Amino acid sequence: MVAYRLGDPTAAQMGRLTLNPLKHLDPLGVIAFFVMKIGWAKPIPVDPRYFKNPQQDMIWVSLAGPAVNLAMAVVSALAAKLIALFSLGLPVFILMPLMQMLVASIWINIMLAVFNLVPIPPLDGSKILLGLLPHDLAAFYIRLEPYGFIILLVLFYTGILPRLIMPIISFAQAVIIG
């Protein structure tokens, strides 16, 4: 949506400006999720040639996903607090699963926001960093892109990535839950 508002019609032309999850599933990512416990969706196509300021606008586009994840975590936390305060007269067999779903939504959305801000291609954080780097460093950094997925897998399976991001996720969760 941010890319579209900044002038890029690519995702709209491909029918990808939708909340329908089926339009975003990557078959290989789904299979990998069940086999390796790590998966992915199809990336939203963005063509920066449509932007007035491609470098800056790609930063905004890349920040949009994590920002939405954080907003969803906040909304879930507010809903959980309201339900906890007023319980809305709901029976326990409805109230407990509802609260568990909201708590899971908080954690999942914070985790996705933090993970996607990691500056390793193809994650959003890499595009943000790329937009902030001077031209000569950006040219070097972009050469890492073909190896990004392998780097992520190695960092994930060696436990390095979880050790780096879990404190950030825990802090963000504490702030949002209050």
Q: What percent of the chain has pLDDT over 90?
A: 75
The top-scoring range by mean pLDDT among 15-19, 37-41, 149-153 is 149-153
How many of the other CB atoms lie within 10 Å of CB of 131?
A: 20
Average pLDDT over the chain, rounded to an integer: 93
pLDDT tens profile 2-30: 999 999 999 999 989 888 888 888 999 89
Tell whether 12 and 74 lie within a shared domain. Answer: no
**164: containing domain:** 70-177
Tell whether 159 and 78 lie within a shared domain. Answer: yes
Instruction: Please check whether residue 32 is in contact with residue 24, taking contact to mean a CB–CB distance below 8 angstroms.
Output: no
- The answer to whether the predicted template modeling score (pTM) of the entire model surpasses 0.85 is yes
Band (106; pLDDT cuts 50, 70, 90): very high
Does 64 fall in a domain? no
Tell whether 91 and 21 lie within a shared domain. Answer: no
Angstrom distance (rounded) from CA 98 to CA 47: 40
Does 62 fall in a domain? no
Tell whether 74 and 43 lie within a shared domain. Answer: no
pLDDT at 86: 84
Overall number of domains in the chain:
2
Burial group, residue 113, by CB count within 10 angstroms (0-12, 13-18, 19+): buried
Tell whether 42 and 83 lie within a shared domain. Answer: no
Tell whether 118 and 80 lie within a shared domain. Answer: yes
Tell whether 40 and 74 lie within a shared domain. Answer: no
Does 4 fall in a domain? yes
Six token digits for residue 115: 């993970």
Tell whether 158 and 101 lie within a shared domain. Answer: yes
